[in-house]
A and B are shown apart, each in its own frame.
Chain A
């Protein structure tokens, strides 16, 4: 496996791998997210308790699930970077951080917009909401710590340690609805046994999670490429690549 993985520690190989994967993730992600959103908004049945307001679930749950997955991915990248000194790993970490921050922000906004009609308040200092807000601050912390260092290898190490320490927040978010009395409802799909949701509602939800994941993947590939370009800006292969793209745009 190491022999297979090793070439991707080289930035040029990784850049071209990202380039190959990018159209698949973008097109598939866009298609799935549109399908799931239209299905969730217009075709999924009305909830007997929350009527149409429950449709917020089709953006709230994917963004919340993705916020935790992206944080885990970022922490794993940080760990690999710290232990094996792989420099592309830190680039992956910092490419993931803004995406994670954005989806965490979206989960908080959509949560507020759902909380207002259902609980009567936009915000409550409740365990689930507060721990999710801390997750947003952790993402922002990793980004700003990385930016604070001129030497990017040093920056990767510092931000990486922060990302790994912040992992403690993930189980807190997940179990907050069980450990504390909270306004937030319990888990619907991520629990043992059968999900407490009819399949006509569950399918668009699962699809929208997939769509959000693919779109996040596409944005990650783009940002990963940007990190590589930034780091290798004086390398001959980057100059050759820029000239090729210039020739292509002139040819059009």
Chain B
């Protein structure tokens, strides 16, 4: 270590402001870039999961409405049959 104590280390021979500004801004920029890359990966994966549950909901809703329609048409034809029965009798 070329410095005697922590104060002279922080002072950097009078150039402390410039030296620490450089090292600080470098660390900050790299850190922001790393965090952004890391969290966008996470965000993408949750997006995939959301899309999956959404697709599942759409499929379930489509199936439900299809069966509902089927039963509705079945009911209709049943009542129609009853009616015709009623008329013929």
Contact = CB atoms under 8 A, between A and B. Distances in A.
Interface of A: 37, 41-46, 51-53, 55-56, 58-60, 63, 98-99, 102-103, 105-106, 109-110, 113-114, 116-117, 215, 218-219, 222-223, 225-226, 229-230, 233-234, 238-239, 241-243, 245-246
B1 A42 contact: yes
Given A106-B29, A223-B37, A238 B48 contact: yes
Interface of B: 1-3, 9, 12-15, 18-19, 21-23, 25-26, 29-30, 32-34, 37-38, 40-41, 44-49, 51-52
B48 A233 contact: yes
A53 B12 contact: yes
A59 B24 CA distance: 10
Given A226-B41, A242-B49, A37 B23 contact: yes
Contacts of B2: 42-46
SS of A interface (majority): helix
Contacts of B9: 41-42
Contact of B38 (A60, A114, A222, A230): A222
A115 B15 CA distance: 12
B47 A233 contact: yes
A229 B19 contact: no
23 contacts: A41-B9, A42-B9, A45-B2, A46-B13, A52-B12, A52-B19, A55-B19, A59-B23, A60-B22, A103-B29, A109-B25, A109-B26, A109-B29, A110-B22, A113-B22, A226-B41, A230-B44, A233-B44, A233-B51, A242-B49, A242-B52, A243-B49, A246-B45
A103 B51 CA distance: 35
